[in-house]
Chains A and B, each alone.
Chain A
Amino acid sequence: MLFQWWQRNRDRVVIAISGGLIVGAWLLRPLGVAYYLWGMTLAAVIAGYGVAKEALQRLLAGQFSISLLVTIAAVGAAVIGEVWEAAAVTWLYVLGGFLEGLTLAHTRSALRGLVDLMPRVAKIKRGEELVTVSAYEVQPGDIVVVLPGESIPVDGKVVAGRASVDTSSLTGEPIPAEVAVDDQVLSGTICQGGYLEIEAERVGVDTTFSQLVYLVAEAQEQKPKVQRTLDAFAQWYTPAVIITAFLIYLWSQNVHLALTFLVIGCPGALVVAAPVAIVAGLGNSARRGILIKGGERLERIAKADVVAFDKTGTLTQGQPKVANVIGFAMDEERVLSLAAAAELRSEHHLAAAILAAAEEQQVEPAPADDWMIEAGLGVVARGPDGEILVGNRRLLHSRGIDLTPEQENQLLEREAAGETVAIVALNSKAIGLVGITDPIKPDAYGLVQALKRTGIKKTVMLTGDNPRAAQLVARELGIDEVRAGLLPEQKVEAIQDLQKSGHVVAMVGDGINDAPALATADVSIAMGTSGTRVAMEASDIALMGDRIGQVPTAIGISRRILSVVRQNVVFAVVTVLVLLAGVIMEVVHLGSGMAIHEASVLLVTLNGMRLLRTQQ
């Protein structure tokens, strides 16, 4: 007990006692120099004991460590009679290490928080029995039981029960999702109210959440260019400092100066400059459902000046809805009923919208049989009421059915409003129109403006949809350029075009249909849900919560990480250079130099910690 307490609080105790002795030595100095000398010496010994011990251990392991430099400096200072300097150097070194530990722990908290959310145990059903096992022992096919307040330990399908599930750990989405039988659930999400029995599909390390944690941790290892430059620099930096210190001694015969140079030359702030910013920034964004892969991608993201969007499912909800039903001298309900009858056997995505609208408005589809699908035109069905046609102009044309000028006008009006219009005809006479739209996602509004604020110069929409519908969405959202009617390979060409004209292109898509375009773009941003895992693995940035509104946040945070890294590097280099110059000009001494050195490490860490704060 006591030993553990000592282990945990040793730094605090040492800092307090040694600091107290230093203050006491100054205060008692007027009473006698002996008090001062002994006070400072004792302070230096107490603070320096741990430092010297570590230095010795490392030296025996063949390492020249910073603690060794500090020990040499402190002992040297004491030998030449500068006890105050010896005490100051050791005390500041211990204090600095302690404060760095605190701030580093805080910086890493974002990632640690994710790890803490990983499910540890699972309750699985073995016959009638409920057995608690480690989350890593669950096998695919096991039935996992989740009670309120527990986190779901596997990816799988709900086979019994219903519950509201908090998915914020994975997606950053604050509103819980309601799940019931046959719904998919993901590990790491939390069952809030209700009860779930889940058939495990992906378990242990294969779960989406495990993969997320791994990818976030791995992203830390990917070094951006600026950091690799720094690492190369650090390799010859430390030996250079030692050699220079020795040369200074030979040249000036001034031990004090050479010792000071050694201590000031420690590469503290340079080493932590990049990692603290990266861990704080990537960890924080991951907790909000934005997975950013690190490394060189950060630089590419920061350079992007064009953002290209897929339309359907990215900017729009991807689920067409009936917006308007128009009856020509017939009530709308009847038109919808006949249209639904014809579409019953169709698998076209517009058919789903018509059937959904009929169900929603509680309109019973009219009786029908003998369906015939006319590819690219529409459907024809036969029922007691006669022959029903639902399709486009060409379908009507092929049957010799004409619209009156007034009907034609109504059709054009709906199309101008961005709707895809299905014409309904009964017994060779047009009876009505069904206008279908794919609504824009609510959080897509303001997206372009937010992107412009992060420094994106141009936004482009690449879509396979018809130009009119595409133009309308683009105008609504303020997107600069539209390329419509594109096949997947034409999307690739469109991106290559932009790249040829000197742009760095970020592409936002759903990860599956847009895979070729995403792969071509300089930066790929994939939307979550449908393709969560594909999105996570293949893209530079994955938006786990499927929220398009997070694109500017993701780009913004990448840029901020990079700019903090650069600030830190510049600051660390400048500090060391200024200190070294100060040492050579003999205006900086051991104590003050050490204080500035430790302060610079702290400042760099604190600067990195700014990235922990949530910013939209």
Chain B
Amino acid sequence: MTMERATILSGFGGQGLLFAGQVLAQAGMLEGKHVSWLPSYGPEMRGGTASCTVIVADRPIGSPVVDRADIVIALNPPSLAKFEGLLAPGGLLVLNDSLIEAVPGRTDLEILRVPCSALAREVGDERVISVIALGAAIARRPIVGEAAVREALGAKGRPEVVDANLRALALGLERGAPVVA
């Protein structure tokens, strides 16, 4: 059985979405998988809505543009409205509980609410918000391993940035971990 998982990361420009998407793609590549990363590259600006699509697969990837996703990370309300409909039944929807009050209309999804903005303030850097959401997502859907994500993060930026990102990842993983009964 072949595996192909599409993740859409979406939110405000400046929330680090494109970065977190690259980390996910890089992690998949480090695990020897096929990956693609595609940004929305319209006339976006800081504060506007931005998104990227990351595909991780165990065979060559077809369309880098998807019409159904396995995971949607929505960090602001417009992103929820825009991408909820693309999720396949049973797909994972990670919502930034700090900014999104709306309740998704669909009942066939797994919904994970994470106060990403509040947790980012705990780390002391607003820009790690997307890495927190990514951590929560891969805790529920291990499309890439934690070790590969840590390695990908470790290669990006100054030591204090890497440190903040690794703490953010840990917070996200903790929030996303399935509750053991």
Q: Do A and B come from one complex?
A: no
* Chain A interface (Cβ < 8 Å from any Cβ of B): none
* Chain B interface (Cβ < 8 Å from any Cβ of A): none
